Structure 1
Amino acid sequence: MADTAAVPLTPTPSSQGALARAERFVWLTARVLEQRLFAHHFRDGAAGPVETALEAYRNDDGGYGHALEPALRGPASLPAHIARALHVLDAVGRCDARRAEDVCRYLTSVSTAEGTLPCVRPAGSGDDPADAPGSLSATAPVVGLLHRNEVWHPWLFRATHFCRQAVESLETARSDEVEAAVLFLDHAPDRARAEAAAERLGRLVRRERLVELGPDGPGAQRGAPGRTPGDRRFPHDYARTPDSLARAWFTDAEMDRSLDRLAAGQQDDGGWPARRSPGASEPAPGALAESRPIATIEALRTLAAYGRPLA
C-alpha cells in the first residue's frame, strides 16, 4: 500500500505564501466538505467529491441540515443551510435543474405566502424558529443563486418579487441585509432595474456608514456608531468579485485598502477569522472551528478574483 503523507504538526514558516499557509490550515482543521472545496478551487480537484461530501448534509425533505451552516446546530433543514448548499453547488458547477427542483420543493414548504424565507438565528440568540418572520437576508441569497444558475420554479417568481420590493424600499439596513441584497441584484433578471437598485443601495451604505473605508488609526473613517467589531464590513465584503454591482460603490483606492486589509487578516495558523452576523451571540467553539475554514476559502477566492498573488 502506498504511503500517505501526513501534514506535519509544526508551525508554518511565515515565509510561505498565503495559499500554502491556508492549505495547511484547511488540512488540519476543516471538515471533509471544505477540504474538498479547497482542493477544487486551488488544486484542480474534481467537482464530484465536493458534491458527495455535501450530500451528507441533505435531508429527505429536500433541505439541508446537520450544521452545514456551522452556527446553526442540529439535523433540521433550515433556509440558511440551503443558501450554503447552493453556494457550494454553484461554486463547483453542480447547481442543476434536478437538484434545484428538490431545493425549491423544500423552500415552498417553509416560505410565507409572499415567498419569503424565515431568518433563523444561531442557538442562544433567543429566536424561536417557529416565530421567525420572512426576511430579505434569508431570501435574497437563495433567490440570487438560483437566478445565477437559470433555475425557474413557481416559488421563485414570488420570492423574486419580494426581493425586488424589499431592496428598492430599504431606507435603513443592516450589513447582512446589504450583503444579501447584493447577491440578489448581481444575478436578478431585469438588469437595468437591478443596476438602478444597486446604485441607490450603494448611496445608502455610505450614508448609513455600513462600511469601513479608511485605514486604522486616528482620524480613520468608521462605521456607524454602536456597531461592534464583529459587525464591521469592508468594501470586499460587499463586492466579492470585480464584476459585482457593488464594486461601483468604491474608488480604486478604497478597494485596494480593503483588499490589503483582507490579505493582512490571515492569522498565524494560516486561517482567516470567522465573522459573526449582526446581533449574534458568541459562537460555540465547535461552530467557530468549523466556520474558519469556510472564511479562509472565501478570503482566498476574493483575493484571487481581484488578481492578488496567493503564492
Structure 2
Amino acid sequence: MNHNISPAASASALERAAAFVWTSGRVLEQRRFELLFGGAPDGSGLAAALAAYRTPDGGYAYGLEPDIRGPEPQPLTAATALAVLQDAGRPDAASVTPVLDWLTTVTTAEGGVPAVLPTLAAYPHPPWLPVTADPAADLLTTGQVLGPALRSGVTHPWIPAAVAFARREVEAMEQTHPYGVQSALMFLDAAPDRAWAAAQADRIGKLLREQRTVLLDPAHPEDAVLAPGYAEGEYHLPHDYAPDPAGLARAWFTDEEMARSLDHLAASQEADGGWPINWAKWSATTEVEARPGVTVKALRVLRAYGRL
C-alpha cells in the first residue's frame, strides 16, 4: 500500500464529487445528485426542491439558472426547470403543462421564445445576456425547451409552432455558435422527424468542424476558434456536443477525438472535487452556485461513456 497517497487523492472521482456537492451544492443539486448517483428511491425530493423556484404564473425564477437572478420568470429558466422535471421523473402533463402554458404567454409571432424578457432589466444579470424591450425568439432557448417537452410526450398547443420555428432556424443555421449548436441538438435528438433530424445534424456537424467551433485536441487550443465575447479558454470539446453516445452528435467525432475529450473532462476535476465553470465569471455568488450543477453534468457525461 502506498501510504504517500492522501485519502482525497485516492478517492474515486465520484466520491470526491460527492464530497463537493454535499459541501457546496444548493438543495437542488444535492437532491439531483442523490437521485442520479446516490440511490434515492424516487424524484420526489428533487421535484420538491424545484418547486421552491416556481412562480405563481407557472414560470420559474429566483436563480434556478444561476446567471439569471430575481423573481421574474424567464424562458431560459423554464428550460432548466423542464430538464430537472425530466430527471425527477415528472415529465407528465401535470408538471409540464403549466410551464408550456406560461411559455405561450411570452412566445413571439415566429413561434419561438426569447432567452430573457424585459422584466430581467431590473435585476442583476451578466453583461453577455442583453435585455431588450422587444426580444426576438431564439433557437438557443426554444431548442432547450423543446428537447424535454417532446420527450415528455405531453400534447400542448405551444409545441407545433415551436417545432416549426426550430426547424426553420436549424435549416437556416450556417454559422456554428457553440451554445446555439448545443440547443439545436437538444431539439434534434428529440425531434419527431428522425430522418430530417439526422440529415440536419450531419450538415451542422460538418459545419462545426469546418468552422473549427470545437476543440478536437485539448493540447492544441490554437486549432479552435473562440466565438466573439467568449471568456479565455471557453472552448467546447466533443463531449460538450455529444454528452451521450446515443445522441446524433456522437457521429461527428472519431473514437480518438472523443477519448481525448473525455480524458480532458476527467482531468478537469479540481482539488475540492468539483468541476470549474469555463464561461466568464461576472459574480462570485453565481460561480459558487453554478459549479455543483456543472459537476453533476460532468459526472453524467463520464458515466454515459463508461468512465465512472
What TM-score comes out, normalization by structure 1 length?
Answer: 0.90
| Structural mapping, 1:95-114, within 5 Å | 95-114=91-110
State the 1:220 CA deviation. Answer: 6.1
Give the secondary-structure state (helix, strand or coil) at the position aligned to 2:179: helix
Deviations 1:111-132 (A, max 9, x none): 1012211123934447225332
State the 1:270 CA deviation. Answer: 0.3
- Report the Cα distance in structure 1 between the residues aligned to 2:281 and 2:108, rounded to whole angstroms: 30
1:223 is matched with 225
What TM-score comes out, normalization by structure 2 length?
Answer: 0.91
Deviations 1:171-228 (A, max 9, x none): 11310000000000000111000000100010111011110002415x9632358664
- Cα 1:94–1:100 shift into 2, 3 Å: same
- Cα 1:87–1:225 shift into 2, 3 Å: closer
Choose which of 66, 78, 85 in structure 2 pairs with 1:82: 78
1:154 aligns with 2:157: yes
- Report the Cα distance in structure 1 between the residues aligned to 2:249 and 2:146, rounded to whole angstroms: 18
Please say if residues 226 and 234 of structure 2, whose CA atoms lie closer than 8 Å, have aligned partners that are also in contact. no
1:192 aligns with 2:195: yes
Give the secondary-structure state (helix, strand or coil) at the position aligned to 1:132: coil
- Report the Cα distance in structure 2 between the residues aligned to 1:73 and 1:225, rounded to whole angstroms: 25
Choose which of 199, 204, 213 in structure 1 pairs with 2:207: 204
Q: CA RMSD, aligned part only?
A: 1.8
1:40 aligns with 2:40: no
Please say if residues 241 and 302 of structure 1, whose CA atoms lie closer than 8 Å, have aligned partners that are also in contact. yes
- Cα 1:169–1:126 shift into 2, 3 Å: closer
1:59 aligns with 2:62: no
2:134 is matched with 131
- Report the Cα distance in structure 1 between the residues aligned to 2:227 and 2:180, rounded to whole angstroms: 18
Give the secondary-structure state (helix, strand or coil) at the position aligned to 1:243: coil
State the 1:230 CA deviation. Answer: 4.6
- Report the Cα distance in structure 1 between the residues aligned to 2:17 and 2:90, rounded to whole angstroms: 25
- Report the Cα distance in structure 1 between the residues aligned to 2:222 and 2:285, rounded to whole angstroms: 35
- Report the Cα distance in structure 2 between the residues aligned to 1:191 and 1:12, rounded to whole angstroms: 48
Give the secondary-structure state (helix, strand or coil) at the position aligned to 1:293: helix
- Cα 1:49–1:106 shift into 2, 3 Å: same
1:25 aligns with 2:20: yes
- Report the Cα distance in structure 2 between the residues aligned to 1:146 and 1:113, rounded to whole angstroms: 20
User: How many residues were matched structurally?
Assistant: 294
State the 1:133 CA deviation. Answer: 1.6
Give the secondary-structure state (helix, strand or coil) at the position aligned to 1:229: coil
- Report the Cα distance in structure 1 between the residues aligned to 2:75 and 2:175, rounded to whole angstroms: 24
2:295 is matched with 296
Please say if residues 59 and 77 of structure 1, whose CA atoms lie closer than 8 Å, have aligned partners that are also in contact. yes
- Cα 1:230–1:149 shift into 2, 3 Å: farther
State the 1:134 CA deviation. Answer: 1.1
- Report the Cα distance in structure 2 between the residues aligned to 1:136 and 1:28, rounded to whole angstroms: 35
Letter in 1 for 2:201: A
- Report the Cα distance in structure 2 between the residues aligned to 1:117 and 1:267, rounded to whole angstroms: 36
1:173 aligns with 2:176: yes
Q: Which moved more, 1:101-110 or 1:123-132?
A: 123-132
- Report the Cα distance in structure 2 between the residues aligned to 1:152 and 1:144, rounded to whole angstroms: 14
1:6 is matched with none
1:14 aligns with 2:9: yes
Choose which of 45, 48, 53 in structure 2 pairs with 1:49: 45
Letter in 2 for 1:29: S
Please say if residues 79 and 119 of structure 1, whose CA atoms lie closer than 8 Å, have aligned partners that are also in contact. yes
- Cα 1:230–1:102 shift into 2, 3 Å: farther
Deviations 1:64-105 (A, max 9, x none): 000000000111100111111111111122111111110111
- Report the Cα distance in structure 2 between the residues aligned to 1:245 and 1:32, rounded to whole angstroms: 32
Letter in 2 for 1:235: P
Structure 2 residues not aligned, in runs of 5+? 1-5
What is the identity percentage for the equivalent residue pairs of Structure 1 and Structure 2? 45
2:244 is matched with 241
